[in-house]
Amino acid sequence: MADKISKEQRSLNMARIRGTDTRPERIVRSLLHRAGFRFRKNVKSLPGKPDIILPKYKMAIFVHGCFWHQHPGCHRSTVPKTNRQYWIPKLSGNVERDKKHLSTLESLGWNVQTIWECEANAASEVVLALIEKLTSCVPES
């Protein structure tokens, strides 16, 4: 019985890891939605496929997993001790790609925000500060 529960929990965890609609993204979106912002999600036409864009503010938001995108200084971004010859280039490749996407988006005039999964809970000061910033800034059109 105990094994069955842990198996279910495990597949739930895996779904969470694989899914494109991750929990942190949902939290950020629902905060934005509640604050009355219009946005689009998973925008494939832009570099790096931003998780959320606010077209009116020309803002692109990435909600990054701390491990896959190597959140600097975060305990969740620890490189696994085994198989390091696989993980190190893989993870640093992700970081390099993120940097490239960010600078391409910025050169196209987008304001890019990165929200880390460890910060994206309902009480998150980062998300609330972002909403406050958007509320106080005047949209371009």
Pick the stretch among 31-39, 78-86, 97-105, 111-119 that binds Zn ion (CB under 5 A).
111-119
Binding to Zn ion by CB under 5 A, coded x per residue (else -) over 65-104, reads -x----x--x-x----------------------------
Distance (Å, whole) CA 71 – CA 75: 8
Distance (Å, whole) CA 83 – CA 94: 17
Which tokens hold the place of 68?
Answer: 């896959």
Which tokens hold the place of 78?
Answer: 């620890």
How near is the Cβ of 78 to Zn ion at its closest, in Å? 11
How near is the Cβ of 118 to Zn ion at its closest, in Å? 3
Distance (Å, whole) CA 101 – CA 108: 11
Our CB check for Zn ion shows the closer of 60 and 66 to be 66
Q: What is the DSSP letter of 39?
A: -
How near is the Cβ of 77 to Zn ion at its closest, in Å? 6
Our CB check for Zn ion shows the closer of 29 and 71 to be 71
Torsion sign (Cα): 62, 66, 71, 74: positive
Amino acid symbol at 82:
T
Q: Residues in the site for Zn ion, rule: CB under 5 A?
A: 66, 71, 74, 76, 116, 118
